[in-house]
Amino acid sequence: MPLDVSTELVLYRDPWEIKKQLMESDVNGSSRLLLPLDCLNAHVFPKMGEEMVRRIRGGDDEKVLVLDMDTEREHQLVFRRWKSGSYVLKGGWTKLFVRGLGLEIGDEIGMFWDEASGKFYFKVLHKVALGTGNAGA
């Protein structure tokens, strides 16, 4: 009788459920980070409280904490849904993250929502070669 045993070795679970390569509109001074809807639906909204999700989906501004794992600093940003249906983080994105971390077009970031603490965790996963991107003003 064969046993149902996996021989696959798993050393590490990648926590970064939202991964994004930054585009010009994320770093050009528009002061907002556009978040991928499919990742939000799969990994963020199911972990948030129902009332919070209802407010965000309804277009209300929702203040959220974002812990920058690179600097170990916590920032308050605004999470909201635009009329177009897109979801963004704003309210200090450019000052705190783009300028503060020197983010450029092409940099890859990772995020996840932690249900226990009720906040986003953020990390720069990959930087483009120095000077090849354009962070704008």
* Predicted local distance difference test score (pLDDT) of residue 7: 72
Please give the angle made by the CA atoms of 23, 13 and 107, to the nearest 5 degrees. 15
Does position 6 have pLDDT exceeding 70, yes or no?
A: no
- Percent of residues, the chain, with pLDDT higher than 70: 89
Alpha helices in the chain (DSSP H): 24-27, 37-39, 50-57, 100-101
What distance in Å separates the CA atoms of residue 32 and residue 35, rounded to the nearest whole number? 9
List of residues 6+ apart from 80 with CB closer than 8 A: 56, 59, 60, 61, 62, 87, 88, 90
How does pLDDT run across 69-100, given as a tens digit for each residue? 999 999 999 999 999 999 999 999 999 999 99
How does pLDDT run across 121-130, given as a tens digit for each residue? 999 999 997 6
Are the C-beta atoms of 124 and 109 separated by less than 8 Å?
Answer: yes
- Structural domains in the chain, sorted by start: 18-126 (2.40.330.10)
